[in-house]
């Protein structure tokens, strides 16, 4: 299936409670849009056999996500950043990466009530693709994350998508925003558009299982 290629690459940031549907939307969108889906939970799960979710580990994941984001954007490929963008400072840093690559940032706010979001998060099933690398989903972890979130300011130019709507409805809102920004090809009517985007390759992202935890001095990642 052909994917829609924006007229210019962009960085797509996702904001919302755990369980608001960010990863599901990101995975589905990556099947429609010529973009790299960078999923922090998957990066963590592939780097660490038994994730600890401590500061050292979080820093490794964040640095790798940011590095890949910059490389993809510089190569002219849009990025769906499915990771930590809960704080304004984190979003500001990601915008700076986008500005360095001379690309635009689009923030999507998935709005859903916290009870519904937690109910969803607590029922994650690791047999499903979207839940395979999900982190802890107990009430205390949910409340800790929710308590530190900083809602986007108007100056961040976000769009709101309901976390309870079906993907087709969410996608329509996304296409409409791209059209407003002038990022949809003139021949596109939110249907398939042929594209020949070349994606830079990631080689040997998963470390040797026998090596234990990641050695920060030997990141075995190559961007071509």
The DSSP line for 151-201 is PPPGGG--EEEETTS-HHHHHHHHHHHHHHTT-S-TT-SSS-----PPPPP
CB atoms within 10 A of CB 155: 7
Q: Are 106 and 9 in contact (CB under 8 A)?
A: no
Residue pLDDT tens, the chain, 224 long: 689 999 999 999 999 999 999 999 999 999 999 999 999 999 999 999 888 889 999 999 999 999 999 999 999 999 999 998 999 999 999 999 999 999 999 999 999 999 999 999 988 877 776 677 777 788 999 999 999 999 999 999 999 999 999 999 999 999 999 999 999 987 644 444 433 333 444 434 444 445 455 554 444 444 44
Structural domain 10-223, CATH architecture? 3-Layer(aba) Sandwich (3.40)
Task: Compute the distance between CA of residue 43 and CA of residue 105 in angstroms, rounded to an integer.
Answer: 22
pLDDT for 133: 77
pLDDT for 209: 47
Q: Where are the domains of the chain?
A: 10-223
DSSP lists the bridge partners of residue 222 as 203
Instruction: Tell which residue, 22, 27, 86, has the closest CA to residue 58.
Output: 86
User: What tokens does 153 get?
Assistant: 């300011």
Q: How many helices (H) and strands (E) does the chain have?
A: 7, 7
Contact partners, residue 96, CB within 8 Å, separation at least 6: none
């Amino acid at each position: 299936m052909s994917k829609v290629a924006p007229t210019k690459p962009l960085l797509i940031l996702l904001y919302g409670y755990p369980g608001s549907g960010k990863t599901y939307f990101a995975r589905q969108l990556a099947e429609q849009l010529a973009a790299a889906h960078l999923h922090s939970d998957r990066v963590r799960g592939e780097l660490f056999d038994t994730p600890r979710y401590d500061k050292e580990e979080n820093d490794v994941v964040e640095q790798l996500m940011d590095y890949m984001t910059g490389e993809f954007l510089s190569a002219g490929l849009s990025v769906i950043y499915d990771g930590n963008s809960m704080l304004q400072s984190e979003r500001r840093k990601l915008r700076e990466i986008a500005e360095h690559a001379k690309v635009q940032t689009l923030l999507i706010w998935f709005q859903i009530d916290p009870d519904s979001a937690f109910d969803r998060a607590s029922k994650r099933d690791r047999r499903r693709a979207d839940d395979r690398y999900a982190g802890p989903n107990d009430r205390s972890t949910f409340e800790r994350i929710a308590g530190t979130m900083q809602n986007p300011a108007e100056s961040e130019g976000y769009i709101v998508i309901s976390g309870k709507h079906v993907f087709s409805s969410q996608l329509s809102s996304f296409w409409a925003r791209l059209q407003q920004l002038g990022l949809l090809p003139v021949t596109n009517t939110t249907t398939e558009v042929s594209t020949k985007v070349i994606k830079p390759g990631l080689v040997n992202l998963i470390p040797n299982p026998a090596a234990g935890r990641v050695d920060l001095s030997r990141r075995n990642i190559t961007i071509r």
